[in-house]
Structure 1
Amino acid sequence: MRNEKYILQRQIVTILLVTNLCLTSVLGNLPLVKRNRVAKEDVSRASQLQGNIQYGNQIGNLLGRPGEGYYLEVEIGTPPQKFNVLIDTGSSNLAVACKPTIEISTHFQTDKSSTYKGSGRSVTVPYTLGSWNGNLGEDVITISTIPDVSVTANIACIDKAEHFFMNDSNWQGILGLGYADIARPDSSVEPLFDTMVRLGQSKNIFSVQLCGLGYFSPNPNNTVGGSLILGGTAPEPYNGELFPTPIYKEWYYEVVIVDIEVADKSLDMDCKEYNFGKTIVDTGTTNLRLPYRVFNKIVQHIVQELQLNPEVVPPNAGFWSGEEVLCWKEGQVPYGVFPTVSLVLPANATASFKLVISPQQYLRPVGEENDNSPENDCFKFGISSLDSGSVIGAIVMEGFYVVFDRENKEVKFANSTCRPLDPDTVRSHIQGYMKYTGDYNDCAYKKVETDNKTLTIVGYVLAGICGVCILPLFVLLLQWQCRKCPCRKLKRSNSDFKDLMEGSS
């Protein structure tokens, strides 16, 4: 009897442990309820409005310096305070320095703006290199080149930054032009451009022309310049046809690369490798950045092409890694021996086109402070590796006019009218259309995500399993209680007495 009771107790303890594990699993997998979620307003109506923006006024509104990005002048607050903000399609927050630092010449003084309102929320934004943190608020924002358009929008006051601002870069903040899904700390922080669209101040489209060091700037007051056209496209920055590629996912401007070529020869890699992580179009990144395996394959193919010319000694490993510069005597850069690099993008289910990037584009000129001697032209390799996907950065975009057509969910490319300093320069250009027989969706990186509906089903299944686990427990408990029942003991006593009486007779 003692052994039977001991075994019963062990069975109960075991079932209790299994039940606890089942319940923990159910609770851990049931979908979480999002609280205080801010509903997104429907912005499609704004895309149908003509808006008040005069596109011609925005030609040449971007300034910049080599390797330091392109910036736009904005006015913030009442009365307005002027600042330059880096344009960045790889983030979504408008942020400006609100404290003095040694790297910048001016900062936003919130106490001098009668329309500034703080929200009491803090925010931190990390980038591939650098980060900043500060506090969220809102104020009146005006783009200097479209003064008739002012909106009250979200703004972050930067209190602390690490490896973000650059000495004498002449910009004091950043204008994120990405989707609200990547806004920090969450998507309830509406980006400036989204606010303009929602209020009918702009169509849901903008376009960018970047003219790097090898071109005449559309802004005559700066070495490097370009145009950010909010609300549409303008005829001046491009010629020829606009070639569209679908936006695969609306957070960053994520697109899909279906092939990469060097000297018109495919790398012959699985197209998923080109997009491993994601592929985005980002004005805030200088280089063309690619996953490690793809980067190494490109370098291998470029070296093979250079070795075809016996008079050329391929650069050493330090150049390819971006740690060293490569210099030639002024005016004697052998652009002709370096091959083109092409990104093949899908236009639709049956056609594709190439962004043909010339050596003048990916051999990135560096400032004079990096020159070995003043009579030399020195360059860095404008293609680099990345562990989180591919980035079509400024060195690519400087060869093209790029339209972010959010209304039609497309990024469009056209040949740029940026005029090269050297008339003999081989221009980056678009080649297309070409027949495409694959499914570009198969090339995209797909992160496995479990939605709430799936989690709910899993939760119910686990609950059912737990029910099956718990049922034996109840049976055993019932049996145990029955064994302890006084009436059972009385019945057993009466039976024993009857046996005893029968035995004695």
Structure 2
Amino acid sequence: MAKLLIIFLYCICANGEQFNLQGDAGLAYSVEVIMGHPHQKINLLIDTGSTTLAVASYSRQDSDKYFDANNSSSIYDSGKKVQATYFEGKWIGRLVSDYIQLPSMPLVPEVRTDMALIMESHNFFMNGSQWQGLLGLAYLPVGARGADVIVESWLDSLDRTLTRPVSFQLKLCATLSTQNATHYGNFQILDGKQKNENLNKSYRTTIIQKRWYEVGVLSVRVMRHVNKSSNPPDIDEHMCQTLNKIKAIVDSGTTNIRLPNCYFRQIVDDLRSAAQTSNMLITDDFWYAGETGCWPEPQDWSLPWVAVDLLSYEADNQYFTLMLSPQNYMRVVAAQNSSGESGTVSEYCYKLGFEKGGDETVLGYTAMEGFQVLFNRSAGWIGWQTSDCGPNTKIMGPFVVSSSLKSKCKLIKSAPDSTISIKAAQWALTAISVIAASILLYLLYPCLKTLLTRRLRSPSQISMSQAALVEQEST
């Protein structure tokens, strides 16, 4: 324990900043927040794949830490029910509002914001997780929903309080040593005034739609040789259309890189083949079924790098490549080296950082570790720089092609799904109203005809009150 503390303090000093994110292996990154009055300390998972601030309001079997709404004098309870469903898990809760602030960011003001008090959940909280809820950082269309309810996000509340849009930055550093399975990182809110001290070149990718952080993932491929002088490959039309068929998002709340099933198999086949060529004995269950592989010593992986090509924000015929080392996708899930009466016990366990995504593509935090990632929500781009912590990563490019990548990969979308749904509902209601009005007029036509005839014959009735008219017709 003392050794881990020394490593942690050393990394804080070396990087010149305080880490405010941490998490156990496979359980994402969480930040400490202060909620309500008087203050209650809660850990929330940092999630770019959702929008709503949602927090446990009850003691669970695996954790007795939660936000006690009865102990907050500043809470406002709407009494309305909200819920959310994720790729894995769901919850049902009650919409309230209360104050929240981040003690690790003293310059970010305390704000009142909407939040969901989770009353019940299914496969949402992970056993052993150190977080009690999540802090959604995506756009409004993917917020929690309820009857006649729109849940404002914490970032939107912050924008409104500051009267200007803010951006945020994630620097995810993974584990600090081979002897430790806890990962650390840094989360910052930016308003354009802070100076970026990272001197590495920045590359920007377009946010295709402001729902999730949906980007153009053009290809994912295994690279046998990393050579800057080599010509970039052509973008395969079928692959990039498949990767973006439903959506391709950057999601810090997801662990692995999720790929459409056919390309998951292709990537894993290539990695497995490379491991066999290097005489590495790894079971098929590790590669294809997400099983854990353990060794008595920490592994120095000599597997190929993986390239992720992203559409550039600068021009739609331009892209750049994120280069992920094997330390990115061979994830540490347990690290133990202890001595006892039976001698030294060593076990270092890993999982593959790729998994099947059905028809969707998700760049989970496995693809973000080793990078400094800036989310500019209002301008609509995500900036990538290699980081001073985490796995050894590279960014190559930019590369220019002869035609529009947005057209080739079918990334041009007329409107967000939420907008389409709203417009469709509006047209449907209009059509229903017209039909209903027509039927009503048809049914009332005899009465209207009689009424109009009477009015023509007795002009004095035009000025009568409604009560008098009813009384006269009933006599």
Range into which the TM-score falls when normalised by the shorter chain = 0.7 to 0.9
Once the two structures are superposed, what CA deviation does each residue of 1:15-45 show, in whole Å capped at 9, x if it has no partner? xxxxxxxxxxxxxxxxxxxxxxxxxxxxxxx
Match of 1:320 among 264, 282, 287: 287
Shift of 1:296: 1.1
Match of 1:416 among 360, 369, 387: 387
Q: Is 2:396 the partner of 1:431? A: yes
Matches within 5 A, 1:152-167: 152-167=112-127
Of structures 1 and 2, the one with the larger relative CO (CA 8 A, separation 6+) is 1
Once the two structures are superposed, what CA deviation does each residue of 1:324-369 show, in whole Å capped at 9, x if it has no partner? 2233441454x22x11111111212232110001111100112248
- The residue aligned with 1:101 is 60
Once the two structures are superposed, what CA deviation does each residue of 1:53-88 show, in whole Å capped at 9, x if it has no partner? xxx998411121111111111111111111111110
Moved more, 260-269 or 397-406: 260-269
Cα separation, 2, equivalents of 1:255 and 1:429:
19
User: Which AA in structure 1 matches 2:207?
Assistant: I
Q: Is 2:372 the partner of 1:401? A: yes
Cα separation, 2, equivalents of 1:314 and 1:381:
14
Matches within 5 A, 1:448-459: 451-452=423-424
Cα 1:318–1:453 change in 2 (3 A) is: closer
Q: Which is higher, the Rg of structure 1 or of structure 2?
A: 1
Q: Is 2:161 the partner of 1:207? A: no
- The residue aligned with 1:178 is 138
Once the two structures are superposed, what CA deviation does each residue of 1:230-262 show, in whole Å capped at 9, x if it has no partner? 125766784411100000000000001112221
- The residue aligned with 1:87 is 46
Cα 1:455–1:438 change in 2 (3 A) is: farther
What's the % identity of the aligned pairs? 31
Q: Is 2:325 the partner of 1:358? A: yes
Kept in 2, the 8 Å contact 1:63–1:222? The answer is: no
- The residue aligned with 1:339 is 304
Cα separation, 2, equivalents of 1:230 and 1:202:
13
User: How does the TM-score come out when normalised to structure 1?
Assistant: 0.71
Once the two structures are superposed, what CA deviation does each residue of 1:390-440 show, in whole Å capped at 9, x if it has no partner? 1110111112111111121001111011156xxxxxx11111111133323
Kept in 2, the 8 Å contact 1:237–1:401? The answer is: no
- The residue aligned with 1:253 is 213
- The residue aligned with 1:501 is none
Matches within 5 A, 1:43-442: 59-147=18-106, 149-185=109-145, 188-200=150-162, 203-213=165-175, 223-232=182-191, 238-263=198-223, 268=236, 269-307=238-276, 309=277, 311-313=278-280, 315-333=282-300, 335-336=301-302, 338-347=303-312, 348-368=315-335, 374-418=345-389, 427-442=392-407
Once the two structures are superposed, what CA deviation does each residue of 1:179-228 show, in whole Å capped at 9, x if it has no partner? 011111167211001110112176421110111125699xxx99421111
Cα separation, 2, equivalents of 1:164 and 1:370:
31
Once the two structures are superposed, what CA deviation does each residue of 1:256-293 show, in whole Å capped at 9, x if it has no partner? 11122211677944310112210000000000111101
Kept in 2, the 8 Å contact 1:58–1:145? The answer is: no
User: How does the TM-score come out when normalised to structure 2?
Assistant: 0.75
Q: Which runs of 5+ in 2 are unaligned?
A: 1-14, 226-232, 339-343, 439-475
User: Which AA in structure 2 matches 1:435?
Assistant: V
Once the two structures are superposed, what CA deviation does each residue of 1:112-154 show, in whole Å capped at 9, x if it has no partner? 2111111011111111122111100111111122345111110
Shift of 1:105: 2.9
Kept in 1, the 8 Å contact 2:336–2:347? The answer is: no
Q: Which runs of 5+ in 1 are unaligned?
A: 1-55, 421-426, 467-505
- Matched positions, count: 396
Kept in 2, the 8 Å contact 1:59–1:228? The answer is: no
Shift of 1:375: 2.8
Cα 1:115–1:419 change in 2 (3 A) is: same
Cα 1:412–1:167 change in 2 (3 A) is: same
Kept in 2, the 8 Å contact 1:104–1:165? The answer is: no
Cα separation, 1, equivalents of 2:63 and 2:16:
28
Once the two structures are superposed, what CA deviation does each residue of 1:154-178 show, in whole Å capped at 9, x if it has no partner? 0111111222223332211111111
Cα 1:444–1:370 change in 2 (3 A) is: farther
Aligned-residue CA RMSD (Å): 3.5
User: Which AA in structure 1 matches 2:292?
Assistant: V
Cα separation, 2, equivalents of 1:171 and 1:428:
28
Cα separation, 1, equivalents of 2:45 and 2:326:
26
Cα 1:418–1:201 change in 2 (3 A) is: farther
SS of the residue 1:398 aligns to: coil
Cα 1:216–1:363 change in 2 (3 A) is: closer
Cα 1:131–1:208 change in 2 (3 A) is: same
Cα separation, 2, equivalents of 1:202 and 1:297:
45
Cα 1:215–1:368 change in 2 (3 A) is: closer
Cα 1:434–1:70 change in 2 (3 A) is: same
SS of the residue 1:270 aligns to: helix
Cα separation, 1, equivalents of 2:426 and 2:142:
24
User: Which AA in structure 2 matches 1:89?
Assistant: T
User: Which AA in structure 2 matches 1:377?
Assistant: Y
